[in-house]
Copies of this chain bind each other. A is one copy, B any other.
């Protein structure tokens, strides 16, 4: 007989009864709030076409590098899991891939993937037995059937999930036709884009040349001229804003910024576009472009997100055979204090600038990020990210940032996911962990209960809307009117 799948209604809340009671009360007050997802990687085509997804493996397993990286670490080959390689699609039968996944499900014990998946299985698909080898087919059939029904189409789920806003991510070299189609369709769901210029900013990006060419086409600018290149950014930023974007996003290896004089910047750009650059030039150009992007944000009000610190494609063989984003990115130490200084020297006190900092290096939380965000008016702290987007990771984020930066220099939760079905699960985990943290503060007499309730609401809903300027009515990203 299969084992039951049953989510503990008090999961992730502290075990001590009095603290749990406080946490439960806080959680109940925010559990039903709308989901605001200002940073993620879902495919806007889903919402444009509203087509049904194909099967459980293609929807849940093959695109989720959290899952197959763990399976790969235990010697399960990617091609057996439905993951496409450079040579073409996986030859694996989707049902066989799903069975292989089910057989190894124990590997996820203690991981956030397990929490998210069980939530999806129980709440989205209403399954009440645990996933294991014996139930693999039951799962496959149940999910497969559901996906064929109208209630499981992307827009229906978007509405069912209570999503108030969902941001996707596109590059300056991409058209925004899906976003246009969503708008044209008359559907009321609010799906917006985000300006992510990495492919035209990072000379080491494998699509750099191609993206640059497309960037020229889409803008009509001479993007091989420094002024034309900057003008092209301004044009595309305006296009993105027209498609609802309020933010840009920058995924750089480091947090380095630079503030070169006009001539030096132009000379550097020349080396970059002519292909005569060294790795140091590439790093310097990315650094300079963060400052250029900040300058444009001062003009157009777009919020900057900086996501540094990953060594991309660390596994050489895997990169050669499977390409980018296959679970082989590994975090590195990241220096924010010296890295951000050139940008901050120029714009650190600019009231119109808002920069949200992320990290893969938790040692920066208490040492650098909280002190920076607790001082500079333009800096805010993004939530625990990627490898740290987990109960222990989120707890450490609050424990290591709150005492110096407070709650109000943080920006609420980002799910940062392409796994659309897991979005409610991820926000639910974040709300529970934040309520658990707040409950401890209350139980230890460090915060009043009414204050904790206000903060819980802000962390789940209020802060994200202010930080990402999602309420045009409010105007300012700051909590407070006054610059006295």
Interface, chain A (partner B; CB < 8 A) = 3, 7-8, 10-19, 69-70, 72-77, 79-81, 92, 100, 103-104, 106-112, 114-115, 130, 311, 314-318, 327-333, 335, 337-338, 341, 344-345, 348-349, 351, 360-363, 366-368, 370-377, 379, 387-388, 390-393, 399-400, 402-409, 440-441, 443-448, 450-451, 454-455, 478-480, 482-484
Q: Collect the chain B residues with CB atoms within 8 Å of residue A446's CB.
A: 11-12, 110, 114-115, 391
A367 touches which of B92, B103, B109, B331 (Cβ 8 Å): B331
The answer on a CB contact under 8 Å between B315 and A100 is no
The answer on a CB contact under 8 Å between A445 and B371 is no
Which of A10, A74, A368, A391 gathers the greatest number of chain B CB atoms within 10 Å? A74
The answer on a CB contact under 8 Å between B484 and A80 is yes
The answer on a CB contact under 8 Å between A455 and B109 is yes
Q: How far, in angstroms, from A73 to B3 measured CA to CA in the complex?
A: 52
Q: Collect the chain B residues with CB atoms within 8 Å of residue A372's CB.
A: 314, 330
Q: Collect the chain B residues with CB atoms within 8 Å of residue A451's CB.
A: 106, 109
Q: A315-B349, A316-B345 are in contact. Are A406 and B331 (CB under 8 A)?
A: no
Q: Collect the chain B residues with CB atoms within 8 Å of residue A407's CB.
A: 109-110
The answer on a CB contact under 8 Å between A445 and B73 is no
Q: A19-B15, A79-B484 are in contact. Are A73 and B349 (CB under 8 A)?
A: no
The answer on a CB contact under 8 Å between B363 and A367 is yes
Q: Nearest-CB distance from A336 to chain B (Å)?
A: 8
Other than the given A76-B480, A331-B371, A361-B363, 15 more pairs (CB < 8 A) read: A73-B373, A74-B408, A74-B409, A74-B479, A75-B478, A103-B482, A106-B408, A109-B406, A109-B407, A110-B447, A112-B403, A316-B348, A330-B368, A333-B333, A362-B363
The answer on a CB contact under 8 Å between A315 and B331 is no
The answer on a CB contact under 8 Å between B366 and A393 is yes
Q: How far, in angstroms, from A405 to B74 measured CA to CA in the complex?
A: 10
Q: Collect the chain B residues with CB atoms within 8 Å of residue A70's CB.
A: 374, 406
How many copies, total?
3
The answer on a CB contact under 8 Å between A387 and B366 is yes
The answer on a CB contact under 8 Å between B403 and A76 is no
Q: How far, in angstroms, from A205 to B130 measured CA to CA in the complex?
A: 54
User: Can you list 18 A-B contacts with CB-CB less than 8 angstroms, sorted by A residue number?
Assistant: A7-B445, A11-B444, A14-B15, A69-B375, A73-B375, A73-B405, A75-B480, A80-B484, A100-B482, A106-B454, A109-B455, A314-B344, A314-B372, A315-B348, A315-B349, A367-B387, A391-B403, A391-B444
Q: How far, in angstroms, from A25 to B404 measured CA to CA in the complex?
A: 30
Q: How far, in angstroms, from A387 to B360 measured CA to CA in the complex?
A: 21
Q: A72-B375, A377-B72 are in contact. Are A15 and B392 (CB under 8 A)?
A: no
The residue on B at minimum CB distance from A375 is B69
A450 touches which of B3, B115, B376, B404 (Cβ 8 Å): B3
Q: How far, in angstroms, from A81 to B484 measured CA to CA in the complex?
A: 9
Q: Collect the chain B residues with CB atoms within 8 Å of residue A15's CB.
A: 14, 16, 18-19, 440, 443-444
Q: A15-B18, A332-B337, A362-B366 are in contact. Are A108 and B406 (CB under 8 A)?
A: yes
Q: Nearest-CB distance from A141 to chain B (Å)?
A: 22
A107 touches which of B74, B108, B408, B443 (Cβ 8 Å): B408
The answer on a CB contact under 8 Å between B409 and A73 is yes
The answer on a CB contact under 8 Å between A367 and B371 is no
Q: Collect the chain B residues with CB atoms within 8 Å of residue A379's CB.
A: 73
Q: Collect the chain B residues with CB atoms within 8 Å of residue A329's CB.
A: 371
A327 touches which of B14, B375, B391, B455 (Cβ 8 Å): B375
Q: How far, in angstroms, from A370 to B92 measured CA to CA in the complex?
A: 28
Q: How far, in angstroms, from A73 to B79 measured CA to CA in the complex?
A: 49
Q: Collect the chain B residues with CB atoms within 8 Å of residue A399's CB.
A: 392
Q: How far, in angstroms, from A332 to B368 measured CA to CA in the complex?
A: 7
A337 touches which of B17, B311, B348, B368 (Cβ 8 Å): B311
Q: How far, in angstroms, from A70 to B403 measured CA to CA in the complex?
A: 11
The answer on a CB contact under 8 Å between B363 and A337 is no
Q: How far, in angstroms, from A432 to B17 measured CA to CA in the complex?
A: 22
The answer on a CB contact under 8 Å between B332 and A367 is yes
